[in-house]
């Protein structure tokens, strides 16, 4: 089982009515993270291979070449960790 | 007219790259970048003058004290206050407002009194009053905001009465950049013998602000939004009002004397003179030195030039943004003569955070969310907003690049 904390630098719950969560991956791991995620998730759209609109199971999220991702409508941190754990394993 | 290309040479951070792109910093309403003159002043203070102020007779302490007092004088002149007695140094706008709420509000407001606050306020000008009202039981009444984000002066005139003791309003909205007529509000408030507190966090860095002309009783602002360091801000207060107020925090520096009476077995305390009465403990001397240098920098540039530059950029940005993508929605008034260099916007189908992350990917820094002004977002029926905000070092070329990247967002 992968340790999500090895890859994640910070998660930020956003302010605003939308309940988005922004995940900032560790800078030195970002390329590895992007590669892993792109292998697991389905690419719905890619803009210049810099921004990816992805789906994984019932979740849709965006992944940025900068090493950040935005997830929507998640219940809690546990749910987020569950997805990340699967995506990064 | 200022030359942003010359000014940019003074800002080392603007040379850095983010995600492989040259940094474009459009989050100036949150905090400004710092010129090398400010960075150098801070370095020089710690390398050559660092000591505690007003505490010792040695040379370093004298130098530090002189610098600290000089900083107060410099700020006082910048806003045309009557000397340093009227400029209290605090951590920032939030602490300045809390100082007024606790030192003045706690002792002067009762259950039959009313405080008027505008609905476009930053949370820092709402929450302290709500906290104090729960202790003292006074009523808070909120000034409404029109659909275009402007303040409803009609609403204010309906709310103000003999019961009003304080009116709290921002000079410039941190969400829309709209400039409020605080002079008019103050004039009306004074007719009812109410005081006014102006949140100047977004005005003092961007407009010429003359506290005598505004006639407001208190003006609060932060150093870090006006090229200075974080952790230093200012509460301007009219001397006669500050004199009557009790201190906010107790400790060293803010007292003239603490004398123990062995018979009564208690200490009698005499407060220090203004502004030290409100500056308990060892102050942020280095922050004050940085702020002084920031003020000098802005004075050299000229506040009329700052205002003009931001107006030109805002006008230009509005045109570029409207033309680049039909999905873009600009919130609030587009009348640039009525606002500062802040543009809140959204993109159909995207959250503000999506927009900010997208732009960040290209090295463009913008803010997203409520910007600590949730009530205003609720009134304008916005889930959140993205916000670009300009300052003296921003250029048309940066706006062109921003618009070019924004065009790409349509693909999301």
Q: Is A24 on the interface with B (CB under 8 A)?
A: no
B336 plus B206 within the same structural domain: no
Show which of B272, B299, B326 is a domain's final residue. Answer: B299
Show which of B299, B331, B348 is a domain's final residue. Answer: B299
Counted residue by residue, chain A has a size of 89
Backbone angles phi, psi at B268, to 5 degrees: -100, 140
ipTM score of complex: 0.84
Residue A12's pLDDT is what?
85
B373 plus B264 within the same structural domain: no
Q: Is A62 on the interface with B (CB under 8 A)?
A: yes
Encode pLDDT of A47-89 as tens digits: 877 889 999 998 999 999 999 999 988 888 889 999 999 999 9
State how far Cα B177 lies from the chain centre. Answer: 12
Of B351, B360, B412, the CB nearest to A20: B351
User: Does B278 fall in a domain?
Assistant: yes
B172 plus B228 within the same structural domain: yes
Question: Which residues contact residue B167 at a Cβ distance below 8 angstroms, ignoring those fewer than 6 apart?
Answer: B115, B116, B117, B156, B160, B185, B186, B189, B194, B195, B196, B197
Which residues in A lie closer than 8 A to residue B384 (C-beta atoms)?
A: 14-18
pLDDT band at A15 (very low <50, low <70, confident <90, very high): confident
Q: Is B361 on the interface with A (CB under 8 A)?
A: yes
The 3-state DSSP class for residue B338 equals: helix
Q: Is B331 on the interface with A (CB under 8 A)?
A: no
B226 plus B306 within the same structural domain: no
Show which of B299, B327, B353 is a domain's final residue. Answer: B299
Residue A72's pLDDT is what?
86
Tell me the CATH number at B365. 3.90.1150.10
Could you say which residues of chain B have pLDDT below 50?
none
Interface test with B, best of A18, A31, A63 (most B CBs within 10 A): A18
B278 plus B326 within the same structural domain: no
Of A18, A22, A65, the CB nearest to B361: A65
Q: At B357, list the tokens.
A: 């992350």
Nearest in space to B270 (alpha carbons), one of B253, B256, B249: B256
B310 plus B339 within the same structural domain: yes
B130 plus B261 within the same structural domain: yes
User: Does B19 fall in a domain?
Assistant: no
Counted residue by residue, chain B has a size of 412
Nearest in space to A83 (alpha carbons), one of A30, A4, A18, A27: A4
Tell me the CATH number at A72. 3.30.310
B280 plus B354 within the same structural domain: no
Chain B nearest-CA residue for A14: B369
Domain that holds residue B285: 39-299
> B324 an active-site residue?
no
Give the separation between CA A30 and CA B105, rounded to whole angstroms. Answer: 51
Of A16, A50, A51, the CB nearest to B370: A16
Q: What's the gap in Å between the CA of A78 and the closest CA on chain B?
A: 21
The 3-state DSSP class for residue B24 equals: strand
The 3-state DSSP class for residue B197 equals: strand
Give the separation between CA B120 and CA B343, rounded to whole angstroms. Answer: 15
Domain that holds residue A12: 4-88
Number of H helices, E strands in chain B: 15, 17
Of B19, B351, B411, the CB nearest to A18: B351
B308 plus B289 within the same structural domain: no
Angle value at C-alpha A21, between A72 and B328, nearest 5 degrees: 65
- Per residue, what are the HEC states of A11-79? EEECCCCCCEEEEEECHHHHHHHHHHHHHHCEEEEEECCCEEEEEECCEEEEEECCCEEEEECCCCHHH
A47 torsion bin: left (phi>0), alpha (psi -120 to 50), beta (else): beta
Residue B22's pLDDT is what?
96
Of B357, B370, B377, the CB nearest to A70: B357
Contact present, B140 and B130 (Cβ < 8 Å): yes
Tell me the CATH number at B67. 3.40.640.10
Q: Please give the torsion angle defined by the CA atoms of residues B8, B12, B16 and B22, in that order, rounded to the nearest 10 degrees.
A: 0
Q: How many domains does chain B have?
A: 2
Interface contact flag, B353 A66, Cβ < 8 Å: no
Interface contact flag, A47 B412, Cβ < 8 Å: yes
- Containing H/E element for B291? helix B285-301
Residue B3's pLDDT is what?
97
Q: What's the gap in Å between the CA of A1 and the closest CA on chain B?
A: 29
Interface contact flag, B351 A14, Cβ < 8 Å: yes
Position A1 pLDDT exceeds 80: no
- Containing H/E element for B202? none
Burial bucket for residue B118 (CB in 10 Å: 0-12, 13-18, 19+): buried
Residue B387's pLDDT is what?
97
Q: Is B348 on the interface with A (CB under 8 A)?
A: no
Catalytic-labelled residue, pool B286, B324, B340, B372: B372
Residue A16's pLDDT is what?
74
B153 plus B264 within the same structural domain: yes
User: Does B31 fall in a domain?
Assistant: no
Give the separation between CA B57 and CA A28, rounded to whole angstroms. Answer: 52
Residue B323's pLDDT is what?
87
Which residues in B lie closer than 8 A to residue A22 (C-beta atoms)?
A: 353, 357
What does pTM read for this prediction? Answer: 0.94
Contact present, B148 and B122 (Cβ < 8 Å): no
User: Does B25 fall in a domain?
Assistant: no
Q: How many domains does chain A have?
A: 1
Q: Is A43 on the interface with B (CB under 8 A)?
A: no
């Amino acid at each position: 089982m992968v340790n999500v904390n090895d890859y994640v630098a910070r998660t930020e719950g956003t302010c605003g009515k939308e309940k988005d969560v922004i995940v900032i991956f560790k800078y030195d791991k970002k390329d590895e993270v992007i590669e892993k995620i792109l292998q697991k998730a389905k690419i719905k759209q890619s803009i210049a291979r810099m921004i990816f609109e992805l789906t994984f199971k019932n979740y849709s999220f965006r992944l940025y070449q900068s090493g950040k991702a935005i997830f929507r409508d998640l219940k809690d941190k546990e749910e987020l960790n569950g997805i990340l754990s699967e995506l990064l394993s | 007219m200022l030359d942003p290309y010359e000014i940019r040479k003074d800002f080392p951070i603007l040379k850095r790259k983010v995600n492989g792109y040259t940094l474009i910093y459009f989050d100036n309403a949150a905090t400004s970048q710092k010129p090398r003159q400010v960075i150098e002043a801070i370095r020089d203070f710690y390398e050559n003058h660092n000591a505690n102020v007003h505490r010792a007779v040695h040379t370093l302490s004298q130098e530090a004290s002189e610098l600290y007092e000089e900083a107060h004088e410099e700020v006082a002149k910048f806003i045309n206050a009557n000397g340093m007695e009227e400029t209290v140094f605090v951590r920032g706008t939030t602490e300045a407002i809390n100082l007024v709420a606790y030192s003045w509000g706690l002792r002067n407001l009762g259950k039959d009194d009313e405080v008027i606050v505008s609905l476009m306020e930053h949370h820092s000008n709402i929450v302290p009053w709500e906290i104090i009202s729960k202790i003292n039981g006074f009523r808070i009444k909120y000034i409404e905001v029109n659909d275009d984000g402007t303040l409803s002066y009609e609403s204010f005139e309906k709310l103000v009465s003999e019961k009003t003791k304080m009116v709290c309003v921002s000079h410039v909205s941190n969400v829309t950049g709209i400039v409020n007529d605080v002079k008019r509000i103050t004039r009306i408030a004074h007719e009812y013998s109410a005081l006014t507190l102006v949140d100047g966090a977004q005005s003092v860095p961007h407009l010429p602000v003359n506290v005598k002309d505004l006639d407001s009783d208190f003006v609060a602002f932060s150093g870090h939004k006006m090229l200075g360091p974080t952790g230093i801000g200012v509460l301007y207060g009219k001397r006669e009002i500050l004199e009557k107020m009790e201190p906010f925090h107790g400790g060293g520096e803010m007292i003239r004397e603490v004398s123990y009476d062995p018979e009564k077995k208690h200490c009698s305390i005499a407060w220090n003179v203004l502004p030290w009465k409100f500056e308990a403990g060892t102050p942020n001397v280095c922050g004050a030195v940085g702020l002084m240098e920031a003020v000098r920098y802005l004075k050299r540039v000229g506040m009329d030039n700052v205002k003009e530059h931001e107006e030109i950029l805002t006008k230009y940005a509005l045109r570029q943004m409207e033309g680049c993508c039909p999905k873009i929605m600009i919130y609030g008034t587009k009348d640039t003569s009525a606002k500062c260099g802040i543009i809140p916007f959204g993109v159909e189908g995207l959250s503000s955070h999506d927009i900010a992350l997208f732009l960040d990917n290209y090295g463009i820094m913008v803010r997203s969310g409520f910007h600590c002004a949730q009530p205003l977002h609720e009134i304008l029926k916005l889930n959140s907003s993205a916000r670009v905000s300009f300052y003296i070092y921003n250029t048309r070329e940066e706006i062109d690049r921003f618009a070019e990247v924004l065009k790409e967002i349509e693909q999301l």
